Each structure stands twice: as structure tokens, then as C-alpha cells.
Amino acid sequence: MEIINFTPVSAFIGGSLIGLSAALLLFAKGRIAGVSGIAGGVIVPEKGDMDWRIVFLVGLVIGGLIYQWTGINPGVAHIQPVVDTPVLIIAGLLVGIGTTIGTGCTSGHGICGLARRSGRSLVAVVSFMASGFVTVFVVRHLFGG
């Protein structure tokens, strides 16, 4: 197995910033930094709860643009989807449905839930990981993708 794009420094910095933002949101607003819940609150707004959600989501996009603009990891610019746009849209909708059924996403359960020692989040993360392992095995070894 060959590891490509091994970037421990940028991964450490990015992970630290994610943890810091999750902790700041929890301390400042008492809210969990689960991206699906934050985005869902923009789609179905709660009274007086919109400003921080929009700032958080805009920050996610701007952070990625800044990272690409700095050129720290020039390999990011060449990333292209390997499927057509309709497939990406369907996949996004399925992820949205899954996060609704699972009452949270990988960021909410994996970062914030596990940090709070939530049993429900542990079960969710084990389910996410197992599903990912099975999907990679099926796609790569059974379908040859």
C-alpha cells in the first residue's frame, strides 16, 4: 500500500482548528458543532438562532478557499469529481437523509459526541466507520472500482 498526499502538519493544524472551533461554539453558544444540524437550522430556522449558523457555514467555505489560496498543499487544485453532477446531488441528499435518521453527522458525533463521552455517538461513529469499510471493500474488490 502506498500512502499519497501524506500531510501530517496541515492535518494537525486543521484538526486543531476544528477542535478549537467546536470548543468555542460549545462554550459561547452551548451548541454542538455538528454541521448537518447547523445547516438544518438554516433550512428550517429557529427564532433568533440564524446569525451564528450562517457565520459558521460561511467560515467553513472561506476557510477552504483560504487554504487553497495559500498554496500550502498544491495538490488540492487538481481534485475533480469522478462522477456526474446528478450522482453528486443524489449522494448529498442521501447523506442529508442519513444524518436526519442518525440524528447527527460525523462531525457532531465523531468530534463533539465522542469528546463528551456520548454512548449514542460511539455507536454512531462505529456505524459510520463500518459502513465506510464495507463500501470501500464492495466498490474496490467486488466491483473493481
In tens digits, the chain (145 residues) has pLDDT values of 566 777 788 789 888 988 898 899 889 988 888 888 888 888 888 787 899 999 999 998 898 888 778 776 655 556 677 889 999 999 988 888 888 887 888 888 888 888 889 999 999 899 989 998 998 899 888 887 6
Q: What is the pTM of this model?
A: 0.72
Residue 14 CB neighbours (<10 A) = 13
CA 82 to chain centre: 19
